[in-house]
């Protein structure tokens, strides 16, 4: 999930909070929406971590492969990722 999707989901949760405010107890609302945002954060973090682990596993498998073509591809992917990371820092 991307930052935009996370932002959209968070915005929807907060819109629901504002729409329900006149009808419900404020403390209960805060607790319910804190819980919803926490679950959303946990879901997003878990998904991102899973993607990073799977990418690392794929790269490691390619580097350890006896096939020189796969090793070369893994080296190129690492170089491109290093360039991409340096652009974002």
Provide the whole-model pTM. 0.52
Q: 75 or 2, which is more confident?
A: 75
Judged by DSSP in three states, 89 sits in: coil
CA atoms within 13 Å, Cβ hemisphere of 12 = 8
- pLDDT confidence band for 88 (50 / 70 / 90): low
Section 15-24 average pLDDT: 76
Domain region containing 48: 3-88
- Flag whether pLDDT at 31 surpasses 80: yes
pLDDT at 1: 54
Q: 26 or 38, which is more confident?
A: 38
Number of domains in the chain: 1
DSSP string, 15-72: HHHHHHTTTS-HHHHHHHHHHHHHHHHHHHHHHHHHHHHHHHHHHHHHHH-S-HHHHH
């Amino acid at each position: 999930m991307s930052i935009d999707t996370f932002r959209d989901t968070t915005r929807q949760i907060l819109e629901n909070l504002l729409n329900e405010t006149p009808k419900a107890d404020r403390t209960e609302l805060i607790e319910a929406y804190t819980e919803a945002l926490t679950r959303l954060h946990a879901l997003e973090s878990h998904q991102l971590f899973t993607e990073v682990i799977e990418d690392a596993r794929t790269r490691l498998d390619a580097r350890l492969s006896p096939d020189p073509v796969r090793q070369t591809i893994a080296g190129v992917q690492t170089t491109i990722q290093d360039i991409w990371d340096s652009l974002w820092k």
